[in-house]
Amino acid sequence: MAPSKWDVEDPEGAALEAAAKAAVRASLAKRRRIEKEQREAARAPAAPAAPAAPAGRAETAADSGASPSKDSLAPSSRATESPQANRAVSVAQSHYAHAPIQGCRSVRIFDKLNRIEEGSYGIVIRAKNRDTGEIVALKQLKLEKEKEGFPITSLREIYTLMEARHPNIVELKEMVVGDTLSQVYLVMEFVEHDLKTLLSTMRTPFLHSEVKTLMIQILSAVELLHSRWIIHRDLKTSNLLMNNRGQIKLADFGLARMFGDPLGKMTSLVVTLWYRAPELLLGSPEYDTAVDLWSVGCIFAELLLREPLFPGKNEADQLSRIYCLLGAPDDTIWPGYSVLPNAKSAPKTPRKSTLAHKLRDCSPATLDLLNGLLTYDPSQRLSATAALAHPYFSEAPPPAHPDTFGSFPSAAAGERRQRTSPSAPSRRGGRRNL
């Protein structure tokens, strides 16, 4: 199998990194040149009016001797002026349907309002566009170790958001830069809530009809990702945003990765612990989209219970909690289980599943869908497409219309979001098999 498109050892990944850095450098150089011209123009004595431009040639701010207007500072539709940037961008374009975001504007066009949260790979800030008044979310990428190159996690997030346009995936609007190469921001649509905060603060739980609506949207977003050969690898309630119109927006693609056929080796240190599939906990070097569906199953149960299904303290405790609730697997129900790297140290006491007892107020169809998502054998686990076709969604009550969801105070609009769940796995170690 050819290496992943986003492996740092791959020439394509190197081209993407070069393109991203070259575009930012070109944008900074262009802005500094314009600012220098503005300062020189401000110091220069008033000049006589320039003759009219020859017919057939549009007059520009530079032709007239005037300071550049606000419109002239807008990103050019042409390629960046740096030959290096042009070459790097053209290389990346030859491998991807979407070119990197070019002509980055300055972050100064936004007024920063409040910090929403700080994660492993960036700081998210609520901001207001000075020109339009639009409220957006600015994600400042963590580039402290610039000498190591543009972070692969940031490249993955940018290209996933460009590739996976969907009503239930957060929209990437543009990329802006500060005064230095280390100040790079993603401008995304602002979404008022995340499901983790809502579940911990709402007075009454979501109705069953509302849970169906949320699940349809979550599965639709995941289905789109998988159809584009992308695994999210960090699905959890805190990465599922919801606006005041009941619309879900899947976010945080720092661990997302494209995959191929056949599958190659990838790190098992992905997915936040409480939502991590058993094949990852058992050290499988190969996995596929099924790891996302296990996470969706955990999210489904959390929406029903208003608490995490498997809140493990460490990997051993996580496996123990899964086995206690679902029963311990063996080679009969999961072929190849016994040869997984960590299977020998896993609990071996046979148990019966007690999931039905824990969710005794749910319908048989609800339990059947949940069992399908929490199937041990990844090859037998429901896909997003199969889950969307499950009878659960057609039985009463029907899914609620998103417009009927109640509104909630937005913690993201003024208060710092508190983390009550573990963070995503750190990428500070080696970069191979990411």
CA distance linking residue 98 with residue 94, whole number of Å: 9
CA distance linking residue 127 with residue 115, whole number of Å: 9
CA distance linking residue 107 with residue 11, whole number of Å: 31
Q: For residues 80-94, b (16+ Cβ closer than 10 Å) or e, as one string?
A: bebeebbebbebbee
Whether the CB-CB separation of 27 and 104 falls below 8 Å is answered with: yes
Q: Say how many CA atoms lie within 13 Å of 198 toward its Cβ.
A: 26
Note if the bond before 262 is cis, omega within 30 degrees: yes
- Which secondary-structure segment (H or E) carries 316? helix 315-326
70: which 2 tokens? 């606000």
Q: What are phi and psi of 151, to 5 degrees?
A: -55, 135
Distances in Å between the Cα of 176 and the Cα atoms of 35, 188, 212, 253, 335 are 17, 11, 37, 18, 49
Q: What are phi and psi of 231, to 5 degrees?
A: -105, 130
CA distance linking residue 146 with residue 104, whole number of Å: 19
Specify the amino acid at residue 186: L
| Catalytic residue, candidates 194, 234, 252, 292 | 234
140: which 2 tokens? 């400042």
CA distance linking residue 278 with residue 294, whole number of Å: 9
Q: For residues 108-144, b (16+ Cβ closer than 10 Å) or e, as one string?
A: ebbeebebbbebbbbebbbbbeeeeeeebbbbbbbbe
CA distance linking residue 194 with residue 251, whole number of Å: 10
Whether the CB-CB separation of 382 and 373 falls below 8 Å is answered with: yes
The CA angle 84-3-379, to the nearest 5 degrees, is: 140
User: By CB neighbour count within 10 A (0-12 exposed, 13-18 middle, 19+ buried), where does 366 fall?
Assistant: buried
Whether the CB-CB separation of 224 and 124 falls below 8 Å is answered with: no
Q: What are phi and psi of 343, to 5 degrees?
A: -65, -35
CA distance linking residue 235 with residue 299, whole number of Å: 8
CA distance linking residue 418 with residue 412, whole number of Å: 10
Active site residue 234: yes
Q: Which residues are catalytic?
A: 234
